[in-house]
Amino acid sequence: MALASQGYIVLSLNHQDGSAPVVQRVDGSFLTFDFEIPGLKGGKDTEEEYYRARRSRTNLRVKELLASTERLLDLNEMDLPELKESNLSLVGRLQKDHSFFMGHSFGGATVLTAAKRRPDLIKAV
User: How does pLDDT run across 53-97, given as a tens digit for each residue?
Assistant: 888 889 999 999 999 999 999 999 998 888 889 998 889 888 878
In residues, how long is the chain?
125
Cβ-contact 114, 65 below 8 angstroms: yes
The amino acid sitting at 15 is H
**Distance separating alpha carbons of residues 3 and 83, to the nearest angstrom:** 21
Say what the pLDDT of residue 40 is: 62
Question: Is residue 116 predicted with pLDDT exceeding 90?
Answer: yes
